[in-house]
Structures are given as structure tokens and as C-alpha cells.
Amino acid sequence: MNADTGSTVTASVNQGRPAKLSARGIAKRYGMVDALLPIDLDVAPGEFLTVLGPSGSGKTTLLQLIAGLIEPSAGALFIDGRDETHTPAHKRGVGVVFQSYALFPHMTVRENVCFPLQMRHIPRAELQRRVAATLEMVGLGALQDRFPGELSGGQQQRVALARCFVYQPALILMDEPLGALDRKLRETMQIEIKRLHRDTGATIIFVTHDQDEALALSDRICLMNHGRIEQLGEPQDIYERPKTLFAADFIGISNVMRGRVGPGGMLETADGALPLPAGAPCPAAGQTAALVIRPEHIELLPPDGTALRGRISESVYAGSEFRLLVTLDSGTTLVARRSPGHAELRIGDEVALGWAADRARLLPA
């Protein structure tokens, strides 16, 4: 449902491309609780769609409906044009990769990867060819005789991926598959999943609460909030052009300046009048609104007569950058990014802040 109007959202694929997955008015209710409000969603063949959102946003419910693990309360679900709304999970041709890996501990790597093909009675020669090719694709050919307990977390995740990719499902669902890995291994596996997606052309729906993961992997992001689609689009579009304050706050770090629209294209805030972005739809004078500015767009200048001034209250070194927290006279704190090559600024230093007006985003408050 749309964040502003409450109407059903149609998240369509690229024009002219048939959908691999189509959800029409799909919804799930438990008693008096709406876990997922009616949504329309199309996913194109070969697309990598990330379903992103906080706990309770509806993302896992949506994945379970697509997988056939739960029955919808309303709506219909189509895969490759076939109505699969009430088809049992094991007959949908959908592969699922879980966070817990769900490997058989008594089976070797090769036996784990063979298992879904054996269940589908694939001829032996074809089975051996597919298993060998898939193990090489995930870099586990030399480890095929080991048991899961003899592998690292990243290697076990590769086995889970291979077991899913080997039978070439119509659709692959990944439910926070990297959640149990440490940060460095997560980043390595993100690259691995991106490569596998590119090499196989598989259609993947990836569920996560990690915004950085979503930005790194996705063709499109479906941002969920309170059981509805908050915004859907390409990662750069959602980051640079959020449509709501929730989207701006959830994807990346945002500085939000709230106030009332005044005359002359200015936003009257507790820290002074700020220029509105040129060409942006402008609320009527007197209405509340918010300017959203990303930290990388804020410039730190020597203190002068500029209206927006503050003091550096904290400095965080993050390797490639410093994150500076600047507290304004009103008590509002803004975050700015600064490369280590700039002149050093210390906690307590007074600075002026500025940004190009077209780098800000005006949103209803």
C-alpha cells in the first residue's frame, strides 16, 4: 500500500518483459493482525530483487507466501504465468536458501548437492554433470568429500547455494542467508552471490534487514514498512531520491531539517531559513516539511556569517573517512563526512555548514 494514500502499489517490471513472478493483491492476516497488506509485485526474469525492511515490516511473510510455506488470506500468485496461489511448496519449483544453511551433517558436500536432483529422479549422467559443474562454480570441487562439520561458515554457505542452484529452480528465494557470518565474510559472500547471479541468470528474491547488503547486491530494492511497500526502485534511485522520511532514514544516513515553508522558497527552521531545492514540488506556505541531506553532500566551512553554524561534538574515524557530528545551536545534530586528507578538525571547533541546494531532498514532514 502506498505510504501516503493507502492504495495498492503496483511494482511493475521493465516494459515489455514478461514477469517471472507476479503477485496480485497478495495479503496475509493473522486474526486481527495484518502481517502483509494487499500488494502487487512483479519480478522480471533474471532480476535480483531485494526485499528490505525492519523486523515486522512484512518481508519474511512475503517470502513465505512466495515459497508456499503459508497460505495467503487474499490475492493470487503467478510464477511463469501459472497460478501457483495454492500449489504446495514442493511443487512450485522454488529454491530456498536459509540463514541456517540446513545441510545434512551425515552427508558429504557432494551428497548434499546431489540430494535435490535425486529427489527429482534426474538421470545419473546428468546428475553427475550438474553436480560437478555447480561445485566448480562455487569453488568447492576440491572439498566435495568433506562433511559440513569440516567446513568453515563461508564454505557451508557455498554448499547451501550450490544445493539450491544445482536443480535450476524457476525462482530462488534467499532468507537472510548471510546473517550468521562475520562482516568480512559477509562482504566476500556478497561478491560470490553477485557473481553466481550474473553467471547463471537466475531470478533471485533476497530478504534482508541490512541496507548495505541491499545496496550492494540488488537490481531493485523493495522497501517494506508496516506490511506494505514503502518504495520500490533501483538502489541509487532510492538512496538519492527517497519518497518518504522512512525511506530516507532507513537507507543510509540522513540529516533531516524540519520546519515550515516560508515565502521566497525557504524552509523556516529552528536554526534559520534554508533554501529549498529548485524544481521540487513545494508545499504551500505555512505547511510543515523536511529537508533531507546526505552526509557526503554537507560541506564544512570556516565559521562566518552563515546562518547554519555549530560545533563539532564527535569525530569517528572509519578508515576512508571521518564522520563528524556537528551540533547546531538548536541542539540538532548533523553528520558530515570528510576525507582524512583535509585539514584536521577537533571536537569543540566551530564550523559553518552548507550544501548545494539541488543535493537536498524536500519531503512532507
Reduced to 3 states (helix: H, G, I; strand: E, B; else coil), residue 243 is: coil
Amino acid sitting at position 195:
R
CB of 78 within 8 A of CB of 22? yes
Which pTM does this prediction carry?
Answer: 0.86
Rounded to 5 degrees, φ, ψ at 10 are -105, 115
CA distance 62 to 206: 11
Which letter does DSSP use for residue 73 in this model?
S
> What is the CB neighbour count within 10 angstroms for residue 47?
21
What local confidence, expressed as pLDDT, does residue 17 receive? 63
Which letter does DSSP use for residue 136 in this model?
H
CA distance 175 to 232: 19
| Cα-trace Rg, the chain | 24
- The residues, any chain, with a CB within 8 Å of residue 85's CB and separated by 6 or more, are 72, 75, 76, 77
Q: At which residue does the C-alpha cell 566435495 appear?
A: 144
CB of 86 within 8 A of CB of 68? no
- pLDDT tens string, the chain, 365 residues long: the values are 444 434 344 444 444 568 999 999 999 999 999 999 999 999 999 999 999 999 999 999 999 999 999 999 999 999 999 999 999 998 898 999 887 878 999 999 999 999 999 988 999 999 999 999 999 988 899 999 999 999 988 899 889 999 999 988 989 999 988 877 788 878 888 888 898 899 889 999 999 999 999 999 999 999 999 999 999 999 999 999 999 999 999 998 999 999 999 877 789 999 988 888 877 677 778 889 999 999 999 998 887 766 688 999 999 988 888 899 999 989 999 999 988 777 778 899 999 998 988 889 999 87
Domains present along the chain, CATH in parentheses: 10-243 (3.40.50.300), 253-364 (2.40.50.140)
CB of 142 within 8 A of CB of 110? no
Q: Residue 129: enclosing H or E segment and its boundaries?
A: helix 124-137
CA distance 324 to 207: 32
Output the CA torsion 329→335→340→344 (10° steps). 10
The CA-atom distances, in angstroms, between 306 and each of 102, 174, 274, 300 are: 59, 49, 11, 11
Q: Is the dihedral of CA 75, 76, 77, 78 positive or negative?
A: negative
What local confidence, expressed as pLDDT, does residue 205 receive? 97
Q: Which of 228, 231, 262 is nearest to 245 (CA)?
A: 231
What local confidence, expressed as pLDDT, does residue 263 receive? 78
Q: At which residue does the C-alpha cell 534467499 appear?
A: 174
Q: Which of 364, 23, 29, 362 is nearest to 222 (CA)?
A: 23
CA distance 166 to 185: 23
CA distance 315 to 303: 18
CB of 324 within 8 A of CB of 335? yes
Q: How buried is residue 115: exposed, middle or buried, by Cβ count under 10 Å (0-12/13-18/19+)?
A: middle
